[in-house]
């Protein structure tokens, strides 16, 4: 079901030759049959006015007609369970290449903090806090302090 409001605005000349604006909002609703629609369907609908005509029906009445083009896409999606269980082996410790609390790293513009954190076995939050970063992508190239947690 596609529904919305169509707003008409017409500039007219009154009996005393003064300009006047006539406005009206009209609800529209159109049922479009599509096979295979489910609750997981995601519609992307576009409505455009292709033509607008008027007819003067009497001295104080105008009939307006708008022609609408309704187009769009419907995407169907489904879900599946890919990972059923995750477990961590706490007995295996990562061997570090030194005994330090901070490491210097030269980051390049556009680099993802997540990738840096993975490389040094630290957290994204720790890197962002240590370097006063506001986004998870580096906006400039430069030195970073990498806290080893």
Residue 36 has pLDDT above 70, yes or no: no
pTM of the model: 0.40
Q: Which residues contact 43 (CB under 8 A, 6 or more apart)?
A: 72, 73, 74, 75
User: What's the domain range around 112?
Assistant: 102-147
For residues 14 and 71, state if they share a domain. Answer: yes
Which pLDDT score is estimated for 78?
74
What percent of the chain is modeled with pLDDT above 70?
92
Residue 26 has pLDDT above 70, yes or no: yes
Number of domains in the chain: 2
Round the average pLDDT of the chain to a whole number and report it.
83
For residues 69 and 108, state if they share a domain. Answer: no
For residues 10 and 68, state if they share a domain. Answer: yes
d(CA 6, CA 28): 7
DSSP state of 128: H
Average pLDDT over residues 59-83: 80
Average pLDDT over residues 71-87: 81
For residues 110 and 59, state if they share a domain. Answer: no
d(CA 127, CA 132): 8
Alpha helices (runs of H) in 84-123, residue ranges in sequence order? 113-119
- Does residue 94 fall inside a structural domain? no
Which pLDDT score is estimated for 106?
93
Q: What is the pLDDT of residues 90-148, one digit of tens each?
A: 787 767 667 778 889 999 999 999 999 998 888 999 999 999 999 999 998 999 999 98
For residues 54 and 116, state if they share a domain. Answer: no
Residue 38 has pLDDT above 80, yes or no: no
């Amino acid at each position: 079901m596609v529904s919305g409001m169509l707003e008409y605005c017409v500039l007219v000349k009154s009996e005393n030759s003064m300009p006047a604006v006539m406005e009206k909002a009209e609800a529209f609703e159109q049922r479009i049959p599509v096979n295979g629609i489910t609750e997981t369907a995601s519609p992307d609908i576009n409505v455009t006015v292709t033509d607008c005509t008027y007819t003067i029906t009497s001295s104080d009445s105008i009939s307006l007609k708008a022609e609408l083009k309704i187009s769009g896409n419907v995407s169907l999606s489904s879900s599946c369970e890919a990972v059923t269980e995750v477990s961590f082996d706490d007995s295996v410790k990562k061997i570090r290449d030194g005994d330090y609390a901070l490491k210097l790293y030269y980051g390049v513009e556009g680099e993802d903090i997540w990738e840096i954190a993975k490389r040094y076995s630290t957290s994204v939050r720790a890197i962002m806090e240590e370097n006063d970063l506001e986004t998870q992508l580096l906006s400039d190239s430069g030195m970073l302090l990498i806290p080893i947690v």
